[in-house]
């Protein structure tokens, strides 16, 4: 059986199951009410795309920096990286957002909730990124560094020409997966009143009292962003497998 | 090459691997290091190749003492070639790109000059048809031959080969040793660590037996392998030779 057929069958079966569940609860659909607010949902979607794209770039930079800290020979620098990563990964994003926005950002006078939102989300995702990058660099065998030294490369050349290109191939699938998480995690920015997709859906719900009609488009919208990323991730994984 | 090693000491943690090793050679073109595993052969080779710095002692090739600071050692490494047991090649680059990398990024050739430089050697050693392949698509023997070629095309003063065949099956071992033999005939100078005694006998101007962190005996291959009067050396060959 071809893969696309298998996928189609599973999706149809799954949809049928969900449809059955909905039919059992006799839900009174009111799509017309939500349709009135389509502009608001679209705007929220746009904000989520913009926030995610920005955070994607910023968190990659933070992740690289933190990965360097984690690999630093200076114990103080290494400690900074380690404490950052463990603190962020060990606490809920919700708490980080609330404390980060209402306490830290207020204290330093940062008021733009979009800027703060991107920063907090990037710091969160950057901690996971850091571990991915560190793991990728550590996975390059010592013999590669030896060979690079043996042909006379400088440490920077060795990193740029030998270590980094191999590490990037290794971590790409995991990074794509982390991007998927980041897009979904951006929904939590609604708690600091960033008008992104999830907050838009919450508001539409409170105007129309049509909960499912507000939240189903939300799920569809996130899938629209995350499914292509997952596909890219799988593609990269297949493409670079031969080098493992 | 004229090699002069005196009082060489190397330690890793509490383990002393080289214990005041001395070796002086007259002019030889090929030096083969043999001896038991863990005896210090590879450690010695890494120091000779400028990859590690000894705790104490000195090495001089043709009267020039090896430096101890990294920038000077890097400059030294650019004048020699080193091939390890395995995984020499960079897996994300094709065989050709592996050959070009040191020429372009270390020795300052343009890409086209570098390509011109490697064309002849690739054909000479029947590797031209594999130039576009990545290491994962090459056999173990082909990988090692490309690695030797990469060390060679920068026109080094000498090659250091650290057990270049010990990860290979007998057929591939033969193909790599044949290449090293040809290099010897072409006048390439090398220091080789190997367990292939048949090859050592053929290709070595001088054999040095390294054991317990010292050179226990050195001389022409026949003398060391067949007629050595040092008990430790004699018992080693008695055990491994048929």
Please answer yes or no on whether B87 and A161 come within 8 Å at the CB atom. no
B42 with B128, same domain: the answer is: no
**With a threshold of 0.80, does the pTM exceed it?**
yes
Number of domains in chain B: 2
Strand pairing of B30-34 and B206-211? parallel
Do B22 and B215 touch, CB atoms closer than 8 A?
A: yes
B231 with B132, same domain: the answer is: no
B98 with B26, same domain: the answer is: no
Nearest CA in chain A to B154: A151
Give the nearest partner residue to B51 out of A149, A157, A166, using CB atoms.
Answer: A149
B63 with B115, same domain: the answer is: no
B225 with B171, same domain: the answer is: yes
Check CB contact of B92 with chain A, cutoff 8 Å: yes
Q: Which domain holds residue B131?
A: 89-155
Do A163 and A149 touch, CB atoms closer than 8 A?
A: no
What does the block give as tokens for B90? 């960079």
Closest approach of chain B CAs to the CA of A145, in angstroms? 10
Chain A contact set for B81 (CB, 8 A): 150-151
Average pLDDT, chain B: 94
Dihedral of the CA atoms B38, B41, B47, B49 (nearest 10)?
Answer: -130
Going residue by residue through chain A (244 aa), what tens digit of pLDDT does each one get? 888 999 999 999 999 998 898 888 888 888 888 898 889 999 999 999 999 999 999 999 999 999 999 989 999 999 999 999 999 999 999 999 999 999 999 899 888 999 999 999 999 999 999 999 999 999 999 999 999 999 999 999 999 999 999 998 889 888 998 999 999 999 999 999 888 899 999 999 999 888 888 899 999 999 999 999 888 888 887 777 655 4
Chain B contact set for A144 (CB, 8 A): 87, 90
Chain A contact set for B89 (CB, 8 A): 147
Do B154 and B81 touch, CB atoms closer than 8 A?
A: yes
Chain A contact set for B86 (CB, 8 A): 143
Last residue of a domain, one of B137, B155, B173: B155
Please answer yes or no on whether A146 and B51 come within 8 Å at the CB atom. yes
Last residue of a domain, one of B155, B177, B207: B155
CATH H-level superfamily of A37-243: MetI-like (1.10.3720.10)
B230 with B140, same domain: the answer is: no
- C-alpha distances (whole Å) from B28 to each of B1, B78, B188, B189, B205 are 5, 22, 11, 8, 6
pLDDT score for B61: 96
Nearest CA in chain B to A167: B92
Per residue in A94-152, pLDDT tens?
999 999 999 999 899 888 999 999 999 999 999 999 999 999 999 999 999 999 999 99
pLDDT score for A225: 92
What does the block give as tokens for A223? 């899938």
Please answer yes or no on whether A147 and B90 come within 8 Å at the CB atom. yes
For chains A and B, what is the number of CB pairs under 8 angstroms? 62
Give the nearest partner residue to A243 out of B78, B136, B154, using CB atoms.
Answer: B136
Name the residue ranges covered by the structural domains of chain A: 37-243
Q: What is the ipTM of this complex?
A: 0.91
B173 with B69, same domain: the answer is: yes
Give the nearest partner residue to A144 out of B49, B87, B105, using CB atoms.
Answer: B87
Chain B contact set for A169 (CB, 8 A): 92
Closest approach of chain A CAs to the CA of B171, in angstroms? 24
Last residue of a domain, one of B126, B155, B184: B155
Going residue by residue through chain B (242 aa), what tens digit of pLDDT does each one get? 999 999 999 999 999 999 999 999 989 999 999 999 989 999 999 999 999 999 999 999 999 999 999 999 999 999 999 999 998 999 999 999 999 999 999 999 999 999 999 999 999 999 999 999 999 999 999 999 999 999 999 999 999 999 999 989 999 999 999 999 999 999 999 999 999 999 999 999 999 999 999 999 999 999 999 988 999 999 999 998 87
Closest approach of chain A CAs to the CA of B105, in angstroms? 8
Q: Which of B140, B141, B118, B144 is nearest to B131 (CA)?
A: B118
What is residue A184's three-state secondary structure? helix
Chain B contact set for A154 (CB, 8 A): 74
Give the nearest partner residue to A165 out of B77, B82, B92, using CB atoms.
Answer: B92
Chain B contact set for A242 (CB, 8 A): 134, 136
Do A164 and A156 touch, CB atoms closer than 8 A?
A: no
Give the nearest partner residue to A153 out of B91, B105, B154, using CB atoms.
Answer: B105
Please answer yes or no on whether B106 and A146 come within 8 Å at the CB atom. no
């Amino acid at each position: 059986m071809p893969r696309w057929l298998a996928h189609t069958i599973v999706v149809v079966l799954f949809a049928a199951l969900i449809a059955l569940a909905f039919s059992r609860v006799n839900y009174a659909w009111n799509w017309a009410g939500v349709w009135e607010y389509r502009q608001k949902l679209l705007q929220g979607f746009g904000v989520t795309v913009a926030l995610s794209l920005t955070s994607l770039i910023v968190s990659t930079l933070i992740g690289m920096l933190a990965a360097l800290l984690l690999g630093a020979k200076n114990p103080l620098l290494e400690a900074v990286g380690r404490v950052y990563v463990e603190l962020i990964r060990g606490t809920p994003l919700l708490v980080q957002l609330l404390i980060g926005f209402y306490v830290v950002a207020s204290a330093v006078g940062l008021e733009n909730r979009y800027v703060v939102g991107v920063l907090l989300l990037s710091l969160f995702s950057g901690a996971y990124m850091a571990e991915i990058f560190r793991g990728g660099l550590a996975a390059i065998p010592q013999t590669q560094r030896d060979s690079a030294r043996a042909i006379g490369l400088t440490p920077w050349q060795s990193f740029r020409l030998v270590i980094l290109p191999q590490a990037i191939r290794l971590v790409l699938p995991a990074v794509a997966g982390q991007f998927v998480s980041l897009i979904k995690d951006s929904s939590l920015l609604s708690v600091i009143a960033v008008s992104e997709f999830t907050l838009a859906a919450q508001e539409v719900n409170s105007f129309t009292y049509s909960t499912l009609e507000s939240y189903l488009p939300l799920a569809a919208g996130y899938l629209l962003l995350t499914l292509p990323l997952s596909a890219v991730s799988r593609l990269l994984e297949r493409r670079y497998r031969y080098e493992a | 090459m004229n090699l002069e090693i005196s009082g060489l000491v190397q330690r890793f943690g509490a383990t002393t691997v080289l214990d005041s090793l001395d070796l002086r050679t007259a002019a030889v073109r090929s030096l083969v290091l043999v001896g038991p595993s863990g005896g210090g052969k590879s450690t010695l080779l890494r120091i000779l190749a400028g990859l590690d710095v000894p705790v104490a002692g000195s090495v001089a090739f043709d009267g020039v003492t090896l430096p101890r600071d990294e920038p000077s050692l890097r400059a030294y490494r650019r004048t020699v070639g080193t091939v390890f047991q395995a995984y020499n090649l960079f897996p994300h680059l094709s065989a050709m790109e592996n050959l070009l990398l040191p020429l372009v990024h270390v020795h300052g050739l343009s890409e086209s000059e570098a390509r011109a430089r490697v064309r002849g050697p690739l054909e000479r050693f029947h590797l031209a048809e594999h130039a576009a392949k990545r290491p994962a698509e090459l056999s173990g023997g082909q990988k090692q031959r490309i690695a030797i070629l990469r060390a060679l095309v920068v026109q080094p003063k000498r090659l250091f080969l650290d057990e270049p065949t010990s990860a290979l099956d007998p057929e591939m071992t033969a193909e790599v040793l044949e290449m090293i033999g040809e290099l010897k005939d072409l006048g390439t100078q090398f220091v080789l660590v190997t367990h292939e005694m048949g090859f050592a006998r053929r290709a070595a101007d001088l054999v040095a037996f390294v054991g317990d962190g010292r050179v226990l005996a050195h001389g022409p291959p026949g003398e060391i392998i067949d007629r050595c009067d040092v008990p430790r050396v004699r018992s080693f060959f008695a055990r491994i030779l048929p």
